[in-house]
Amino acid sequence: MYFLLVRRLLRRSSRAFFALSLIFFVFCLLYMSLSPTLENQQIQMGSNNKNEAKTEEKAAKVEDTNQRRGFLKYAKWNVHSVRGIYGKKNNSFLVTLGDSESAMHSIEFLNKHQEVFNLANFGQLNHQSVDFVLIVQVHNRIEYLNYLVGSLSRAKGIERVLLIFSYDKYSEPINKLIRSIDFCRVTQIFFPYNIQLFPNSFPGLGPKDCPEGTKKKEGLECANAAFPDTHGNFRLPKFTQIKHHWWWKANYAFDEIMPKYGLENKTLLFLEEDHIVTPDFLHSLKLMDEERKRVCPACELICLGTYPKKFDKYEKDIAKLGLEFWYSSKFNMGMAVDRTLWKAVQNCSKLFCSYDDYNWDWTLLQLSVKCLSSKMRVIYTKAPRVLHIGDCGVHTHRCKAERAANDALKLFERVNSSFFPASMRVLEIGKRMLKPAKPNGGWGDPRDIRLCELNTHPMESNTTTVLKEARHALPTNEL
C-alpha cells in the first residue's frame, strides 16, 4: 500500500518536472531566436546614434568653416573714391560760429551729449550687452580709415562692442563714413583743443611763436624762445597735437563715457585710423585675457598688434602668445587696458605731461620705468590681430597708400582657415627689457605741459578755463 502511494507521487512529480522542463526549453528557444534580433537592433540604434553625432559634428565644422570664409568672401575691401562719393577731396569743416572758442563750446556740448548710433538694432548700452570698448584715434586719412571700418565690420562679436571714434579734425567725408556704420553701436567725440580750430594761436602756432625750423640760438625774439626742447628745437603743433589728443581721449573714455553707461570695468582697446584688424581679433582678445589670468595675473597689458619682420610663420604662430616687459616700439599697437592700470597711469600724469617727448608711447615707457610700482608687463600674440597699414603718415610722404593694406588682405586670405583657434597658449617668455631711448623732444613748451596736466581729468573744468590757463603757463604777455 505504501509502495503504491510512493510510485503514484513519483509519477506526478515526473510529469510536473517534464512540464517545467518543456516550458524552460521553449523559453530557451525563444530567447535564442530573439537575441540576434535584439542585438542587431541595439547595434543598429547605437550605430545610428554615432552616425547622427558624426553628421552633426561634421555639419557644425562645415558651418564654422563657411562662417569663417564668409568674413572675407563678401568683404568689399577697395578704398572708396572720396572725390566720387563725398564731393571735394578736402571738404573739411569750416568754423562758422563767429570764433574758434564758440566752436570749442559747441564741441564741448556735443562731447557731453554724444549720440550713440544703432541702439535700435543692438539695444541699450550696459554691462551685460557690451564685451569691450574700442576707441579709434582719427586725424584725416580716410583712405586708411575705410580699411579699418571694413575689417571691423567682418569681425565676429563686433555687435557686442561700443565703438568710439575720436577726432582732432572735423571732416565731412569721415563723418559720413562713420555715420554709415550699421554693424555695432557707435559714438563720436572731438578733441576740442585742436589746431583746426586754433591755427593761429595756441595750441596752434601763434604769430609771435618761434616758427617751424627755428633753432634755439635763432629764436631770441620769439614768445617761447626760452623754452626749446632737449635738442634746441621749438614746438610743432602738428606733432604735439598727437600726444595731447591721445591723452585727452583716453582720459575722457575712462572718466566720462565708460562710467556713463556702466562700462567702467570693461577693457578699452586702443586703435588708430591706419590699423586693420583680423576677423578673429575679438575672439583672440578673449582667449588672451583668459590665458593672462591663468599664467600671468600681474600682466597689466594685452597687445594684439606687433611688428614681425616677415609673415611667413603667421599661420604657424596663430595660437602662440608671448610675455615680456612692455616696450613702446614693440607693443604700442592694439593695446588693451583696464581701469586699474589706467588709474595708475593717471597718478603718474606729472611725469607723462612733463617728459620731453611728443610721442605718447615713448612717454608711457618712462612711466613704466620711473613712476609705476613695477614695470608694465604685456601678453601679446605672435601672429598679430591688429596690423599697421599706414605707410603714409606724419613722417612719411613718398608712399603708396594701398600697398600695405593689400598685403594685409592677402595675408588674411592666405591664413583664413586658421583664424579662430580653440585656445591660445604662452610659449615664449622674455625676461629682459630693452633700454629706454633718449627723449625725442618736441615737448619743452610750458603751455603743452599745462594743457596736458589739465586734461588728465577733462571733466573737472570747462574748455575755456582749460585753454586760458594753459596759454598763461607761458611766463610772458607776448602770447
Question: In this structure, is residue 142 part of a structural domain?
Answer: yes
Tell me how far apart the alpha carbons of residues 32 and 334 are, in angstroms, rounded to a whole number: 71
Give every strand in the sheet of 333-337, ordered side by side.
185-190, 161-167, 132-138, 267-272, 333-337, 301-305, 377-381, 320-325, 425-429
Q: What is the mean pLDDT of residues 63-75?
A: 46
Query: At 317, which CATH number?
Result: 3.90.550.10
Q: Is 140 annotated as a binding residue?
A: yes
Q: Is 80 annotated as a binding residue?
A: no
Q: Could you tell me which residues come within 8 angstroms of residue 415 by beta carbon, excluding any fewer than 6 positions away?
A: 314, 315, 318, 383
Question: In this structure, is residue 478 part of a structural domain?
Answer: no
Q: Is 91 annotated as a binding residue?
A: no
Q: Is 141 annotated as a binding residue?
A: yes
Q: What is the mean pLDDT of residues 25-40?
A: 43
Q: In the structure grid, which three cell numbers stand for residue 119, read together?
A: 541702439
Question: What range does the domain containing 323 cover?
Answer: 63-471
Tell me how far apart the alpha carbons of residues 434 and 390 are, in angstroms, rounded to a whole number: 25
Q: Strands 161-167, 377-381: parallel, antiparallel or unpaired by DSSP?
A: unpaired
Question: In this structure, is residue 16 part of a structural domain?
Answer: no
Question: In this structure, is residue 235 part of a structural domain?
Answer: yes
Q: Do the beta carbons of residue 386 and residue 271 sit within 8 Å? A: yes
Q: Do the beta carbons of residue 408 and residue 276 sit within 8 Å? A: yes
Quote the distance between the C-alpha of residue 136 and its chain's center: 9
Question: In this structure, is residue 91 part of a structural domain?
Answer: yes
Q: Strands 425-429, 320-325: parallel, antiparallel or unpaired by DSSP?
A: parallel
Tell me how far apart the alpha carbons of residues 306 and 388 are, in angstroms, rounded to a whole number: 9
Q: What is the mean pLDDT of residues 96-100?
A: 58
Tell me how far apart the alpha carbons of residues 394 and 65 are, in angstroms, rounded to a whole number: 40
Tell me how far apart the alpha carbons of residues 392 and 38 are, in angstroms, rounded to a whole number: 75
Per-residue model confidence (pLDDT) at position 99: 76
The count of structural domains within the chain is 1
Question: In this structure, is residue 197 part of a structural domain?
Answer: yes
| Residue 63 pLDDT greater than 50, yes or no | yes
**343 or 402: whose pLDDT is higher?**
343
Q: Is 124 annotated as a binding residue?
A: no
Which amino acid, residue 374?
S
**32 or 166: whose pLDDT is higher?**
166
Q: Is 242 annotated as a binding residue?
A: yes
Question: In this structure, is residue 29 part of a structural domain?
Answer: no
Q: Is 241 annotated as a binding residue?
A: yes
Q: Is 138 annotated as a binding residue?
A: yes
Question: In this structure, is residue 2 part of a structural domain?
Answer: no
pTM for the structure as a whole: 0.81
Q: What is the mean pLDDT of the chain?
A: 84
